[in-house]
Amino acid sequence: MQQRNQPMGSMQDWTLRVARLIDHAAREHPTREIVSRWADGSETRTNWAGIRHDALRMTQALRRIGIQPGDRIATLAMNHHRHLVSWYGAVGVGGILHTINPRLFEDQLDYIVNHAEDRVMLFDKAFAPLVARMKPRWPTVERYICFDSGEPAPHFEDWIAPEDGQAQWADGDERDVCMLCYTSGTTGNPKGVLYEHRSTMLHAMSAITPPVFGMDTRMVMLPIVPMFHAASWGLPWAGAAAGSKLVFSAVNEGAVLCDLINREHVTAAAGVPTVWLALLQHVDATDGAIPGSLKTIVCGGSAMPRVMVERFMRQGIRVNHAWGMTETSPVGTAGTETLDWEELSLDQRVAVKAMQGRPPFGIEIRCVDLGNPATVLPRDGKSAGALQIRGPWVVKRYFKAEHDAVGDDQWFDTGDVGIIHPEGTLRLTDRTKDVIKSGGEWISSVELENVAMGHPAVAEAAAIGIVHPKWGERPLLVVVTKQGAEVTQDELRNYLRQHVAKWWVPDAVAFVDAIPHTGTGKISKKDLRELFREYQWPV
């Protein structure tokens, strides 16, 4: 075969290294702003040129304290521009950026910092008490830096102040690791996913395409999703590739977000359904309106309820309902308009957007039989199965694992249950561990929840399987009613009977004050099952 050693001529050498993103942004979009809204209400404004300059100064500060390529540099912080600087600084020195979720249990924080062998820890002062408690358990951490205070560790700005930014990014192989995120697994120890320079770059190039986030320099993006959640969906990288304006907020309250979106003319925002719920609740409570500058919302992390999709669409806002996970960098699918969009009714459009969209170029998905994974299911819009994924930004092996997380054909098991429609759109119906097996058939807990959420009296709903003497398992619906609203079990079951198969209708409804959530804002089925461990079906 014709190869490198046969000098035919060629294209230029250009390694897929992450520093190229910030170099591009600072060169072509130097004055495009990066705005930070801090927890205390104060704001900081910088731009892509400023981010690059500070990131270069951070590489100098890191080199001064002996950080080597491959060393792990941890952050324990909310979203702000200094956190962004630290991403490019840590990766730019050839290090591995390790973003930590501060909402994890302390035993998990103990585990992951020691597993990662983090050498440097950059944190927000809001987490100073947590850091103080954890410090004795984190022997590998040699240096603490505080992003927004001079106490109890050096202030980030003071730390980089002596540096002049006259430095070079670390060079290296494009398959060097640049980032580490641990999954907040519900069983066993968290698992570390290692992103490479190459995978991060291909993911960023895909993220800015129209079938994913469709980004350009005119976009003003508010990544509500925290930077410690699956790389904030890659937006801090993609934003540089596109030269977009980025707006960060250290708090995610509805009032703060609405105000920020209005003042900064945010055109697109990305977050999990719970933050959108908070935003809508604020709008309702204040008789306000969804900010007019907002053109697109990206929703992921868990499925957006259909009623919420419809509410945004009725306001003329484009809903981009996406799906992904830490193991997929994270974009797996994203929701775009279908070919027949112009002919669809609002109701049909909502149905399309309530699904999770299609894989962008690079990603492959398939569903296999839940009982027999060797059988690949047809894309018929009906067959629900275990969702598998593969592609250039999908995990092959977890950090320090002894075996690959995938087989020879690279398919990765997502733990989700999905249906693929003929035109390729993915509809998630459940997590494999949450699906309810009744009389040998599968019932989707997520679909039950989605329908229940459509009832005007329901604020939040969750369905779990409860052991049943005859059917193996039967669904129990757990409901939080809206303030001031009332609904009976029978009314709810009748309502459900109109929307799902008769045998799917939950045998009982339990009314509760609140449904437990995970640190990432999803319904915690694990906690819910624990709560209803002693539950007995009414006789």
Residues forming the active site: 183, 327, 437, 442
**Window of 19-27, 182-190, 489-497, 513-521 that interacts with a second copy by CB under 8 A:** 19-27
* 283-312 positions binding a second copy, by CB under 8 A: none
The residues with which 73 forms a beta bridge, in sequence order, are 97, 120
Options 406, 443, 446, 477; binder of a second copy; rule CB under 8 A = 406
β partners of residue 297: 269, 319
| List 152, 154, 362, 516, residue binding a second copy (CB under 8 A) | 362
Identity of the residue, 277 or 405, whose beta carbon is nearer to a second copy in the bound complex: 405
Among 45, 64, 314, 400, contact with a second copy (rule: CB under 8 A): 400
Distance separating alpha carbons of residues 143 and 120, to the nearest angstrom: 5
Give least dist CB 111 to a second copy, A. Answer: 16
Give the E-state strand segments of 199-276 in sequence order: 220-223, 245-249, 268-271
DSSP conformation class of 119: S
List binders of a second copy among 175-214 (CB under 8 A): 175-177, 192-196, 198-199, 202, 205-206, 208-211, 214
CB atoms within 10 A of CB 214: 18
- In whole angstroms, the minimum distance from the beta carbon of 352 to a second copy comes to 13
Reported residue count of the chain is 539
The footprint of a second copy on residues 463-492 (CB under 8 A) is none
Residue from the set 110, 337, 369, 527 that interacts with a second copy by CB under 8 A: 337
CB of 153 to a second copy, least distance (A): 27
* Three-class SS of 72-115: EEEEECCCCHHHHHHHHHHHHCCCEEEECCCCCCHHHHHHHHHH
Q: Are strands 436-438 and 441-443 parallel, antiparallel or unpaired?
A: antiparallel
- At residue 160, the 3 state secondary structure works out as helix
* In the complex, minimum distance from the CB of residue 136 to a second copy, in angstroms, rounded to a whole number: 27
User: Among 62, 395, 428, 515, which residue interacts with a second copy (rule: CB under 8 A)?
Assistant: 395
Options 158, 284, 364, 380; binder of a second copy; rule CB under 8 A: 364
Considering the complex, what minimum distance in angstroms separates the CB of residue 373 from a second copy? 19
Single out the residue of 1, 374, 514, 539 in contact with a second copy (rule: CB under 8 A).
1
Q: Does residue number 410 form part of the binding site for a second copy (CB under 8 A)? A: yes
Report the alpha-carbon distance of residue 60 to residue 56 in Å, rounded.
7
Strands, E, within 404-531: which ranges? 412-420, 426-431, 436-438, 441-443, 458-468, 472-481, 508-511
- Counting contacts by CB under 8 A, is residue 357 touching a second copy? no
Binders in 51-110 for a second copy, by CB under 8 A:
68-70, 94, 96
Stretch that binds a second copy, among 84-92, 168-176, 312-320, 485-493 (CB under 8 A): 168-176
Closest CB 398 distance from a second copy, rounded Å: 5
Binding mask 125-164 for a second copy (x = CB under 8 A): ----------------------------------------
The answer to whether residue 390 forms part of the interface with a second copy (CB under 8 A) is yes
Query: Partners of 477 in the beta sheet?
Result: 463, 509
Report whether the peptide linkage leading into residue 136 is cis, meaning its omega lies within 30 degrees of zero: no
Q: What is the total count of residues that contact a second copy (CB under 8 A)?
A: 76
Least CB distance to a second copy at residue 388 (A):
12
401 binds a second copy (CB under 8 A): yes
> Which residue number, 215 or 500, has a Cβ lying nearer to a second copy?
215
**143-146: strand order across its sheet:** 143-146, 120-123, 72-76, 96-99, 177-182, 192-196
Q: Structure tokens of 504? A: 């799917």
Distance in Å, CB of 82 to a second copy, minimum: 24
Q: Does 266 bind a second copy (CB under 8 A)?
A: no
Select the span of 160-168, 216-224, 246-254, 312-320 touching a second copy (CB under 8 A). 216-224
Distance CA 55, CA 58 (A): 5
Burial class (CB in 10 A: 0-12, 13-18, 19+), 360: buried
* Residue 10 interacts with a second copy (CB under 8 A): yes or no: yes
Q: Which long-range contacts (CB under 8 A, 24 or more apart) does 174-177 make?
A: 174/15, 174/16, 174/17, 174/198, 174/201, 176/69, 176/70, 176/94, 177/70, 177/96
Min dist. Cβ of residue 280 to a second copy (A): 28
Stretch that binds a second copy, among 25-33, 486-494, 513-521, 528-536 (CB under 8 A): 25-33
Which among 13-21, 45-53, 146-154, 227-235 is the span making contact with a second copy, rule CB under 8 A? Answer: 13-21
Nearer to a second copy, 27 or 382 (CB): 27
CB-neighbour burial class of residue 469 (10 A; exposed 0-12, middle 13-18, buried 19+): exposed
Q: What angle do CA 473, 475, 481 make, to 5 degrees?
A: 155
In the region spanning residues 226 to 265, those forming contacts with a second copy, defined by CB under 8 A, are 241-242
